[in-house]
Amino acid sequence: MITQDTLREHTDRPMGLLSVLVADDHPLMREAVKGYIESAPDMTCAGTADDGASAVELALQTEPDVIVMDIQMPEKDGIQATAEILQHRPTAAVLTVTTFDQELYAVRSLQAGARGYLLKSARAEELLQAIRGVASGEVPLSPKVAEDLILEAARDSASIRRSLSRYNIPEVPERQLAVLKLLGRGYSNAEIADELFLAEDTVKKYLQRLNDRFETRDRVQLLIRAVQLGFIEP
């Protein structure tokens, strides 16, 4: 459901801030996430929706920078809503935030186009960092989700390697390989930079070079391809 208050939030929002739409059918969770966003100096809440259909309508109407999307909602679930939003706005950044930690939901959300997958057990600052991450092109994943994706990708690794035989197995320099392995542990760009004593911009350049080497588009594809080709062990 979309309310007049929601529409006023969008109309009156300050310029220059990261606008975030919150879609969650649980009132307390919805208001909590909205409160976290409004407390951040660089963000504003573009509106709230309590079902998937309203999330789609509001996302297309207000064009927020980031959509925080629950999975289990009435009318349309978050995965359906994500796919529909991205059909009309391919550049929209969707962050799935849910209680479901099974890799099936993570895979389905990411296949629908979500740029990140975070569990509701995450701390407020982790949520805000994930919102900033998807807005800037990162793909934040809970470590548990990253681990499950690796296991899923590795289950049929032999046949997957055969199906990928048309690819030349890329040569990966040692420093980029270290970045790749930390990516497989669910590390963010900032955490990788701290662990390897690199500038965060250098980590971003390494990830872009890795995407070029593996012929992938983003962190999730890179992670899965690296597991399939044996660069990351589950």
The span from the CA of 178 to the CA of 68, in Å, is 31
Split at pLDDT 50, 70, 90, the class of 230 is: confident
Separation of CA 140 from chain center: 5
Highest mean pLDDT among 114-123, 142-151, 195-204: 195-204
On the CB side of 102, CA atoms within 13 Å amount to 5
Cβ contacts of 132 within 8 Å, gap of 6 or more: 18, 42
Q: Is the pLDDT of residue 21 over 60?
A: yes
Q: Residues 34-55: what's their mean pLDDT?
A: 93
Nearest residue to 36 via CA among 125, 132, 115: 125
Give pLDDT, residue 66: 95
Side chain identity at residue 109, one-letter code: S
Q: Is the pLDDT of residue 3 over 50?
A: no
Three-state secondary-structure class, residue 95: strand
Q: Residues 155-164: what's their mean pLDDT?
A: 50
Tell me the two tokens of residue 107. 């895979």
Q: Delimit the domains of the chain by residue range.
A: 4-140, 156-228
User: Does the structural domain 156-228 have CATH classification 1.20.1250.20?
Assistant: no
Q: How many residues does the chain have?
A: 234
Give pLDDT, residue 24: 93
Give pLDDT, residue 111: 74
Q: Is the pLDDT of residue 199 over 90?
A: yes
The span from the CA of 67 to the CA of 79, in Å, is 12
Nearest residue to 90 via CA among 82, 80, 101: 82
Q: What is the CATH number of domain 4-140?
A: 3.40.50.2300
Angle subtended at Cα 2 by Cα 84 and Cα 71, rounded to the nearest 5 degrees: 45
- What percentage of the chain carries pLDDT values higher than 90? 38
Angle subtended at Cα 140 by Cα 230 and Cα 148, rounded to the nearest 5 degrees: 45
The span from the CA of 181 to the CA of 202, in Å, is 16
Q: Would the pTM count as exceeding 0.75?
A: no
Give pLDDT, residue 158: 52
Phi, psi of 25 (to 5 degrees): -85, -5
Q: 156: which DSSP letter?
A: T
Give pLDDT, residue 19: 94
Q: Is the pLDDT of residue 160 over 50?
A: no
Strands 43-49 and 18-23: parallel
Angle subtended at Cα 125 by Cα 139 and Cα 9, rounded to the nearest 5 degrees: 85
Q: Residues 49-53: what's their mean pLDDT?
A: 92
Give pLDDT, residue 8: 43
- The pLDDT mean for the chain works out to 81
Give pLDDT, residue 5: 47
